[in-house]
Amino acid sequence: MTPEKPRLHVLLAGPRGFCAGVDRAIRIVEEALKRHGAPVYVRHEIVHNRFVVEGLERQGAIFVEELSEVPDDGQPVVFSAHGVPKSVPAEATSREMYFLDATCPLVSKVHREAERHNARGRHLLLIGHAGHPEVVGTMGQLAEGEMTLVEDAAAALSVTPPAGAALAYTTQTTLSVDDTAEIVAILRARFPGIAEPAKESICYATTNRQAAVKSVAARSDLVIVVGAPNSSNSVRLREVAERAGAPRAVMVQRGAELDPALADGCATVGITAGASAPEVLVQEVVDRLRERFAVTTEEVTVAVEDVTFRLPRMRAVA
């Protein structure tokens, strides 16, 4: 006789998974492949998710790190959702490449704001993580020395802007809302006249997903975040879950990576997904848990998202 599986209640955080910027970026690559055929070159991972990248590779996308890897064959080149320094489209233009910019419009908004502050003579403090593609792209909107990166509260306490400069700040779109609030408070206290973003720079999707994971973390013995280790918003979700009361939070990229025994002794498990992780991967994790447990599920929704972004105009096919 097969022993009865232990019961496990799964809380599915909502919103979770794909945001409008990620969806738009993926559709740009797919539409370019449909119109122009393979290959379509993509500079950097279009979004930080191997499942998505490998799916596009099977359709004929070729991912490169730099434009120097792209041959002059007339095929489209797509810039990733994270945004690129101005030097990248400049290089593409000089080589007469046909390129499509899949930068998330909310990241582009940060770029334009950086330019506006710069035009008004302000030195910009960018709150973000060194080396992240979005930060590299944002810093590359201005000349070297016109922007200073502030990574954390300690950096906010010690940063030394150019003497006498008027200041402004902006942020990477995928940061921890709580951590960023602490950094901003320090900057405001140190530099009372610092100009603020016209609108919150952390994007709606990041804010909503962090609020959602907080709502399930407080009720969960374990939180599972579906996402990639190089995905900033996914890493932040795991951190937020732990701070919000989950005794343990782990991140996996696929259901197969999850050891369901991690949930032994748990009554309730929360699951969420980063903004670049498709829903099919969440279902993989639920199915993996079902192998060991009698699972019941509950949707815990804190916001409903209806944001969509239009695709850029594409060259007509001859």
Residues designated catalytic: 134
Residue 273 · residue 280 · CB < 8 Å: no
Please give the distance of CA 14 from its chain centroid, rounded to a whole number: 16
166-171 and 249-252 strand pairing: unpaired
Q: What is the greatest pairwise CA distance in the chain? A: 79
DSSP, res 198: S
Identify the bridge partners of residue 79 per DSSP, sorted by sequence position.
Answer: 43, 101
- Which residues touch 294 (CB under 8 Å, ≥6 apart)? 4, 5, 6, 7, 8
Beta strands in the chain (DSSP E): 7-14, 40-43, 61-64, 77-79, 99-101, 122-127, 147-150, 166-171, 222-226, 249-252, 268-273, 294-301
Neighbours of 164 (CB within 10 A): 6
55 token code pair: 């799916």
Tokens (6 digits) for 180: 């960023």
Residue pair 276/231 in contact by the 8 Å Cβ criterion: yes
- The DSSP code for 300 is E
Residues 6+ away with beta carbon under 8 Å from 124:
114, 117, 118, 142, 146, 147, 148, 167, 168, 169, 170
Closest CA to 246 of 275, 221, 265, 281: 221
Angle (nearest 5°) at CA 269 between 263 and 274: 110
Give residue 65's identity as a one-letter amino acid code. Answer: E
